[in-house]
Amino acid sequence: MAQPERVPVASYTDPASLEGRGFVVLGAGQGIGRQTCHALARAGARVLCVDRDAELANAVAGEVQGVACVADVSVRADVDRVFAEAAGRFGDTLGGLVDIVGMADIRSIPDTDDASWSRNFDLNVRHAYLAIQIGARAMAKGGSMVFVSSISGTHSIANEVSYGAAKAALNHLVRGAAHELGPRNIRVNAVTPGFVRTPRLLAALSEDFWIDLKSYIPLRRAAEPSDIAKAILFLACDMSSYVTGAIIPIDGGLSTAAPVPHIPFAPGMQTRVAARS
């Protein structure tokens, strides 16, 4: 006869807390970055809010009682300074990094010049490489690193080959870093959003685009920045304590849907089509 299990039951609420931990957020000023700063702060973290725009950095830091830091995180000296400040303020409680920096230079392959190619890699990969390398040295007791990639890094999207190649490189960087840094108790993961209603995209794309987009997404809506921030919070805290090297789609199911037109099956037609195949 089976005996009742005596293994203690784990806590399923405490791991969601970030109380007492310091986090660095790169690209904190608006959209996903701003929402992420709020998510981390509400979970108890102290946040260093990094943005290259001083006004945006100061604004979000004021909202979350964090610390503003102005830096261009594609420059090694600036990233060194960011983590030196984080180490000075948080000490050995520095336990996390979230990197939301990224921008797409969208062009067809024939129209992509060397400058555009380099810009996509500088804006989407270089800062992540610097953040992982320098951040790992500063996170003496381990912690979590979370990066924002894109559906373009896992799927082909028209006119986004250069940008997608950069995001694919970011995904591989995340997997490799997770492998190398795991023994140091540093987890490294990424999320791959689809279309998110960030201030930049809302300014660039018409409302008609957003309305039409809904028909392509199984959940029938584009993401809000807070949708992405919730997933980042999960990966940042100990609720995901055994997750590393993961590239997680946060796209409303968009990446699961084949881009084919609706097939107008008549009643009973599906059975006949299946029988012929």
Instruction: Give the model confidence (pLDDT) of 50-64 as tens digits.
Output: 999 999 999 999 999
Active-site residue, from 12, 129, 163, 242 = 163
Q: What is the pTM of this model?
A: 0.92
Domain containing residue 72: CATH number: 3.40.50.720
Looking at the domain assignment, is residue 218 inside a domain? Answer: no
Q: What is the pLDDT of residues 3-51, one digit of tens each?
A: 888 888 888 888 999 999 999 999 999 999 999 999 999 999 999 999 9
| Host domain of residue 28 | 17-194+228-255
Does 160 score more than 90 pLDDT?
no
Looking at the domain assignment, is residue 121 inside a domain? Answer: yes
Looking at the domain assignment, is residue 8 inside a domain? Answer: no
Looking at the domain assignment, is residue 11 inside a domain? Answer: no
129 classed as catalytic: no
What does the alpha-carbon distance between residue 171 and residue 19 come to, in Å, rounded to a whole number? 29
Domain total of the chain: 1
